[in-house]
Structure 1
Amino acid sequence: MAEENIPSQSFNIRELSTKTVTLYPARAHVVREIPSIALQPGQNEIEIYGLAETIDEQSLQIEGTGNGEATITDITVEKVINKIAFDDVCGPPEELDDDDLESDYSDSDDDADDVKISRQERNRLNKAIETQADLETSCSVQLYQLEQFTKTITNEFSDAKKLEEALHVYESERSRLHLGKTNAGIEIEKLTKQKSKVEWRLKRAEKAEKEKNKEAVQAKDLARRKKLREREQRHKEIEKVRSERATFWPAYVYRVVVRLETAMFTPGPSRRSSIGSITLSKEVPESSETPEKSEGKVTTSPNEISLSLSYVTTGAFWLPWYDLSINSVKKTASIVYRAEVRNATSETWTDAKVILSTSQTSYSGLDDKAPTMHPWQVALSRYNPDNDGIFSKAEISATQAKIQKEISSQAKAYAHAAPQQNRHVRSSVASHQLGGNRMQMIASAPNVELHRGISSARKSKKASILPSFGAARSAPPGAAPAASNVQEYAYAGYDPTIEDCGESLDALAPTALDFEESAWEDYGLTATYDLPGTRTLAPSTLARRYKIATLNATSIALSHIAIPKLRAAAFLRAKLKNPSSSVTLLKGTAGITLDGSFLGTHALARVSPNQAFTIPLGVDPAIHISYPKPTLHRSTQGIFNKERAHVFSRSIFVTNTRPAPVELLVLDQVPLSQDERLRIDIVSPRGLIKEGDVVKTGAPAHEARKAWGKARATLKKDGEVAWTVEIEKSQAAVLKFEYEAKMPGTENMINS
């Protein structure tokens, strides 16, 4: 059979129904259905046109069911220019027409009777004046023609009698025309005077009517302007929708061609020997014919099948969004887990079952393989390397790659797939089989698993040695980098003031309006969320938010932390626990609300079920921190081997203006010596000698006040000193901090 004679059927992707859309954090899996396809005996060709250029052609799969015997011989996937014009689908741009609007608000129908009569009289006089003016003009033209005729009389009429008759006719016609012109002028003058009187009466009547109906006229004018604005606004909205659709209108689309073959007459022995291309028998109704009689019979009725097309696209995905409301009085928190869904493809999925999957955040996929560690070779050098030989070259390269991947991960999620070359995908065997009412085609090219997602990059923490106590300067309050350092240091560091949160799933007070919640289900390492009902996801630059779950936490812990060395401020933070035993909070953005006031957004890290996490709440203005400049006392010791001693003294003032006691963690540090000749000891708080030592310290800022609270100091690693301070309401405390540095008399202490 010639290829041009193969029966062909074409389906546009916009006309196909969508069964399910499974959204992942970086892509989406779409399943579409083509029901009731009638196949002719022999070869058939089915074209599916208009797939978005963001699809991954290697993920394309076709499954189907049918009541007949059919075999898929091959499938082609090709990227072509979109032959469907945008105006053919969405129509031409709409134009505004104000004629109807002006006619709707014509004020002639609402005029008074005297105004209408005067206008009618004026219109009658205008027509009469025009008639008389036309008559006057006509007489003037005829007189002119008559005068031109008299100039030719002496040449044409040689006979005296005929000349006399011509002159008589001239005199008679001239008198008639002159009289008509004169009467027309008199009539025009008379009508003009009448018109002036009528216009005067009309002017007076319109003025009286205007004064009488001034408010009604203004109301009508306002209504006309309002309707005009509404039309313009409606036109802008239509143009906005049209412009948004044009943004996603594809210049290129994918065209999928599926070739099938249905059973025809084939000799019995030949069919039994063709094992590689066998087609399993269909379900046939009971018949009186025996298999021997029916064997070799030509199929005349068409086979009917239904295809299911599935593919992966990178233009659609979902991201988690959280609404976190904290009540500082009741020590409770509510976490509303939402899904932010985006569709940046050129396809509209109508009435589809939407499923959200977390698989790509649970593990990264097949392409993310375990690295190979090679031998770490080192050598001696006279020069000090940048990393002091701590990190190998492979480790440095891996860290840089991780940072680069984290920076570009969000950009890749919004980017469209790169254009791919046209491919011709054929099956690895001669044909695929349809049997037991089920047909499935799997291309020979390797499939790309759906569970390829974004790998969570963890920020590496590196301890840094800050400048010496005396050389440190407080950062300006408006310096953004210093504030950022304080935030990262404060919320990632040690926290002895926060206790574990309790767990509760009690519902908060009911609200007037609520969102539909999704049903979730765990499958090992992944979880899926089924949105209730069906949804229509059209291409849009806006994100749609759906509610997944509401989690309620009780017994949250609120505490403060201050690092006055970097910024003289107390930062409030809340520690709470994920109260669910099954829902994992994925990495996303959280909107923070404290006691009904929206504070801003926070990048929430991944939180496993029953895991505790900390939320920063910004600077608490009710806690005042003062960090005056340090004092330095120098002295010299020894007779022969003189040794210098520098004593650095500093005070930290903490004031609580809140009407309740607060607990505060204050952090400072002493420099770490890199030379054995430089010895540094803490003088105050006395007793901090080695890591882990804890002593009581603190004093009231005013001697007259005794019951200020209590504090204890702890020496941590890397020279960090942590004060855990409990200050009563409306009280102030001072924390003394001194350390002594001893060094040879000829040496100075500098930052290394």
Structure 2
Amino acid sequence: MYTKTSCLAAFLLIAGFAVATEEPLKISSSLKTVTVYRNGAEMLHNASAQLTQGSTELIIEGISNTIDINSIQVNCTAAVTLMGVEFSNNYMVAPADNQRIRQLKDSAEHITDEIEKIKVQVTTINELLDVLKTNKDIKGAQTGLSVAELMKLMDYYKSKSNELQEELKQQQEKQKKRRDLLIKINNQVAEEEKKNTKNEGRISLQLSVAVSGKYDFVVSYITPNAYWTPYYDIRIDDIKSPLKVVYKSKISQTTGIDWKKVKLSLSTSIPNQWGNAPVLNTWFLAYINPVTILEQSLAGKAAGVKIRGINSMSNLDEVVVVGYGTNSNTDRTLEEKAPVYIVNGAEMTKQEFSKINTIAIKKMEVLKADAATSLYGSRASGGAVIITLKEGLGDYVTVSDNELNVTFDIDIPFDVPTNGKAQTAVLKEYAVDANYKFYAVPRLDKDAYLLADIAEWEKLNLVPGDANIIFEGTYVGKSFIDPNATLDTLNLTLGRDKRVVVKKEKLADYSSVKFLGSNKLQKITYEITVKNNKKDAVEITLKDQYPLSTNKDIEAALTEDSGASVNKETGVLSWQLKLAPGETRKIRFGYSVKYAKDRQVNLN
């Protein structure tokens, strides 16, 4: 009895030890979608695991190395109960060098080999010099040499010594250059390794599994190690054309994992900014049109049409059906014929057409027989399917605007490496009507500036950011778009235009100084010349000012304004001018100042 009990206890102890030391199940995750905020990002991973019934520990690897613990969300089926979550970094796995680091290390290794070879050359030369010196001493100690033989021997020593010394100098200089280059490369490697943050994180899940089987997990969380910055290209072909706003973004991340072929969204919101619980509004039912696949949507419009890829018509920006036939047998026969396929103006076969993915389609137009034959002849008697494909990344971006933020959804897979370097993406391009005008303040700046006033700018979903100004194909400088500081109209400064010349000069003949008792009366007159050297007429707002006084002992008055709009509270003078090509206009204004003659006044 004692033996059986001891064996049972030993078995239980061994079994318990086996359970306690059982390795947790480790699986890799696949990053699918990322929503990048102005500061931070929400990352969503998918993972699958074969689980057995009972309690188990599951480690999901391939997670960002820095996350907000409170933001972790793990979703699975009802058969799996999540008992606990723990996040940690996997420091045991060394980060893999990126291509740039590998190239630098290869270069460093090659240069190190060269330095070693140079060392051998230097050692050999020094040894030859030692041998030469030793032989010289031996020969000098010998007797019986003629003067001619001694001179010949000395010339040889001199020539050979100079040759070796020169070669030694060259090798030492070469060695120094290689060492300096090696130091620079090693410094660059150290700099790149600071950006190489591929130490992945992992999430440990304590699970209770009701039924053994394969289960899918969805893991999402917020990481602070990513952001995006908006910026713009403002393009103006000429002041008669609409202004083009190219909305761009710079995306950067150091989350520890490369984002490869992910579904990327950029949001202007701040994660976790709003903590209030949501409130439900009344849900009213209504009839809706079900989403049908593309082939069904074209049934009866063009025969035999089928497109590979996403089945939903929701990916198409526009679908147009033109022309409707009669119910005659002839028309039904024509409709059963295969249509012609026109993609971006070029005809293609049905097989080529079937390979088009709907995500690449910007517009689809389906022509019935009569409309198709009028354009493409009898070969289009079965109708025509006309496709316009998307061009550039901007066509693949969907903008969602709500009261709190704007989200840009990029519909094609996107790559962002975890090296901290900014990746550029074009989000949208808008052509907007603008009111162009020139603006000059010659008191402060001798140049004229081109301005653009944009109405209804709210529709552009702009956020504050730098803007590159390209005017008539030439980069002219930078500006800053701040929609938060505008009201009804967005004002953009597009840069200086040297072809609108503004010159201000003081007219000595119309300026004077008089002494009136203990006071001095000074009159000053200026002339502003504006010339339009452009080939188009321009409108320009010209501003200057006259001084005001808050001191009762100083009197200032405007004496001439050339029809300016005068703001008596600020002393600002404004002129609205319209100049034809090549036209020159002159504006004259003046003011007087009376003050104590033994005092000085800031009249400049």
Q: TM-score, normalised by structure 1?
A: 0.47
What is the aligned partner in structure 2 of residue 73 from structure 1? 83
Contact 1:579 1:610 in 2 (8 A): no
Aligned ranges for residues 501-580 of structure 1 at < 5 Å?
A: 514-515=392-393, 516-554=395-433, 556-577=434-455
In the alignment, is residue 675 of structure 1 matched against residue 566 of structure 2? Answer: no
Query: Hey, what's the Cα distance between the residues in 2 that align with 1:571 and 1:338?
Result: 25
What letter is aligned with 2:273?
A: G
- The aligned length equals 397
Query: Hey, what's the Cα distance between the residues in 2 that align with 1:745 and 1:95?
Result: 80
Of 564, 586, 592 in structure 2, the residue corresponding to residue 740 of structure 1 is: 592
Query: Hey, what's the Cα distance between the residues in 1 that align with 2:423 and 2:197?
Result: 22
Query: Hey, what's the Cα distance between the residues in 2 that align with 1:364 and 1:672?
Result: 52
Query: Hey, what's the Cα distance between the residues in 2 that align with 1:350 and 1:45?
Result: 28
What letter is aligned with 1:339?
A: S
Displacement after TM superposition at 1:580 (Å): 6.8
What is the aligned partner in structure 1 of residue 560 from structure 2? 684
SS in 2 for 1:58: helix
What is the aligned partner in structure 1 of residue 71 from structure 2? 59
SS in 2 for 1:622: strand
What letter is aligned with 1:733?
A: R
What is the aligned partner in structure 2 of residue 156 from structure 1? none
Aligned ranges for residues 718-737 of structure 1 at < 5 Å?
A: 718-737=570-589
Flag the structure with more relative contact order, 1 or 2, with Cα contacts below 8 A and sequence separation at least 6.
1
The percentage of counterpart residues that share the same residue type is 21
Contact 1:593 1:599 in 2 (8 A): yes
- Aligned pair in 2 of structure 1 residues 626, 569: CA closer, same or farther (>3 Å)? same
The Cα RMSD (Å) is: 4.1
- Aligned pair in 2 of structure 1 residues 633, 50: CA closer, same or farther (>3 Å)? same
What is the aligned partner in structure 2 of residue 343 from structure 1? 253
What is the aligned partner in structure 2 of residue 148 from structure 1? none
SS in 2 for 1:62: strand
What is the aligned partner in structure 2 of residue 620 from structure 1? 497
Contact 1:716 1:722 in 2 (8 A): no
What is the aligned partner in structure 2 of residue 47 from structure 1? 59
C-alpha distance after superposition, 1:2-23 (max 9, x if no partner): 69626543436xx311231111
In the alignment, is residue 597 of structure 1 matched against residue 597 of structure 2? Answer: no
> What runs of 5+ residues in structure 1 fail to find an aligned partner?
99-238, 264-300, 368-509, 686-696, 698-710
C-alpha distance after superposition, 1:585-605 (max 9, x if no partner): 111232322222232332222
Contact 1:580 1:609 in 2 (8 A): no
- Aligned pair in 2 of structure 1 residues 604, 23: CA closer, same or farther (>3 Å)? same
What is the aligned partner in structure 1 of residue 51 from structure 2? 38
Contact 1:578 1:607 in 2 (8 A): no
Displacement after TM superposition at 1:577 (Å): 3.4
- Aligned pair in 2 of structure 1 residues 21, 742: CA closer, same or farther (>3 Å)? same
SS in 1 for 2:205: strand
Of 598, 601, 604 in structure 2, the residue corresponding to residue 749 of structure 1 is: 601
In the alignment, is residue 24 of structure 1 matched against residue 37 of structure 2? Answer: yes
Query: Hey, what's the Cα distance between the residues in 1 that align with 2:75 and 2:543?
Result: 64
Query: Hey, what's the Cα distance between the residues in 2 that align with 1:585 and 1:89?
Result: 35
Aligned ranges for residues 429-444 of structure 1 at < 5 Å?
A: none
Query: Hey, what's the Cα distance between the residues in 2 that align with 1:735 and 1:549?
Result: 44
SS in 2 for 1:55: coil
Contact 1:244 1:540 in 2 (8 A): no
- Aligned pair in 2 of structure 1 residues 308, 2: CA closer, same or farther (>3 Å)? farther
Aligned ranges for residues 683-722 of structure 1 at < 5 Å?
A: 683-685=559-561, 697=562, 712-715=564-567, 717-722=569-574
Query: Hey, what's the Cα distance between the residues in 1 that align with 2:208 and 2:524?
Result: 91
Contact 1:585 1:608 in 2 (8 A): no
Query: Hey, what's the Cα distance between the residues in 2 that align with 1:7 and 1:744?
Result: 98
- Aligned pair in 2 of structure 1 residues 609, 721: CA closer, same or farther (>3 Å)? closer
Query: Hey, what's the Cα distance between the residues in 2 that align with 1:593 and 1:544?
Result: 22
Of 339, 342, 365 in structure 1, the residue corresponding to residue 273 of structure 2 is: 365
Displacement after TM superposition at 1:364 (Å): 9.4
Displacement after TM superposition at 1:680 (Å): 0.9
Of 177, 197, 201 in structure 2, the residue corresponding to residue 250 of structure 1 is: 197
Query: Hey, what's the Cα distance between the residues in 1 that align with 2:23 and 2:96?
Result: 27
In the alignment, is residue 259 of structure 1 matched against residue 111 of structure 2? Answer: no
What is the aligned partner in structure 1 of residue 324 from structure 2? none
Query: Hey, what's the Cα distance between the residues in 2 that align with 1:249 and 1:599?
Result: 36
Contact 1:8 1:47 in 2 (8 A): no
Aligned ranges for residues 454-493 of structure 1 at < 5 Å?
A: none
Contact 2:260 2:416 in 1 (8 A): yes
Query: Hey, what's the Cα distance between the residues in 1 that align with 2:191 and 2:213?
Result: 42
Displacement after TM superposition at 1:366 (Å): 5.0
Contact 1:6 1:44 in 2 (8 A): no
- Aligned pair in 2 of structure 1 residues 331, 511: CA closer, same or farther (>3 Å)? farther
What is the aligned partner in structure 1 of residue 265 from structure 2? 355
What letter is aligned with 2:93?
A: I
Displacement after TM superposition at 1:61 (Å): 2.4
Displacement after TM superposition at 1:734 (Å): 2.4
C-alpha distance after superposition, 1:202-231 (max 9, x if no partner): xxxxxxxxxxxxxxxxxxxxxxxxxxxxxx
Contact 2:250 2:425 in 1 (8 A): yes
What is the aligned partner in structure 1 of residue 229 from structure 2? 319
Query: Hey, what's the Cα distance between the residues in 2 that align with 1:319 and 1:341?
Result: 7
Query: Hey, what's the Cα distance between the residues in 1 that align with 2:18 and 2:523?
Result: 97
Aligned ranges for residues 65-144 of structure 1 at < 5 Å?
A: 65-66=77-78, 68=79, 70-79=80-89, 82-86=91-95
Aligned ranges for residues 650-665 of structure 1 at < 5 Å?
A: 650-665=526-541
C-alpha distance after superposition, 1:110-155 (max 9, x if no partner): xxxxxxxxxxxxxxxxxxxxxxxxxxxxxxxxxxxxxxxxxxxxxx
SS in 1 for 2:570: helix
Query: Hey, what's the Cα distance between the residues in 2 that align with 1:3 and 1:336?
Result: 63
Displacement after TM superposition at 1:88 (Å): 9.5
C-alpha distance after superposition, 1:1-55 (max 9, x if no partner): 669626543436xx311231111111110011222341442x3112234543332
Contact 1:551 1:579 in 2 (8 A): no
Displacement after TM superposition at 1:512 (Å): 11
Query: Hey, what's the Cα distance between the residues in 1 that align with 2:236 and 2:515?
Result: 57
Query: Hey, what's the Cα distance between the residues in 1 that align with 2:397 and 2:493?
Result: 29
Query: Hey, what's the Cα distance between the residues in 1 that align with 2:60 and 2:437?
Result: 61
What is the aligned partner in structure 2 of residue 585 from structure 1? 462
Contact 2:440 2:449 in 1 (8 A): yes
- Aligned pair in 2 of structure 1 residues 364, 79: CA closer, same or farther (>3 Å)? closer
Q: TM-score, normalised by structure 2?
A: 0.57
Displacement after TM superposition at 1:347 (Å): 0.6
Displacement after TM superposition at 1:667 (Å): 1.6
What letter is aligned with 2:84?
A: D
Displacement after TM superposition at 1:678 (Å): 1.6
Query: Hey, what's the Cα distance between the residues in 1 that align with 2:92 and 2:499?
Result: 66
Query: Hey, what's the Cα distance between the residues in 1 that align with 2:18 and 2:571?
Result: 83
C-alpha distance after superposition, 1:669-725 (max 9, x if no partner): 22221212222111112xxxxxxxxxxx2xxxxxxxxxxxxx644335321122222
- Aligned pair in 2 of structure 1 residues 349, 664: CA closer, same or farther (>3 Å)? closer
Query: Hey, what's the Cα distance between the residues in 2 that align with 1:88 and 1:747?
Result: 74
What letter is aligned with 1:5?
A: A
Contact 2:199 2:256 in 1 (8 A): no
Query: Hey, what's the Cα distance between the residues in 2 that align with 1:608 and 1:306?
Result: 48
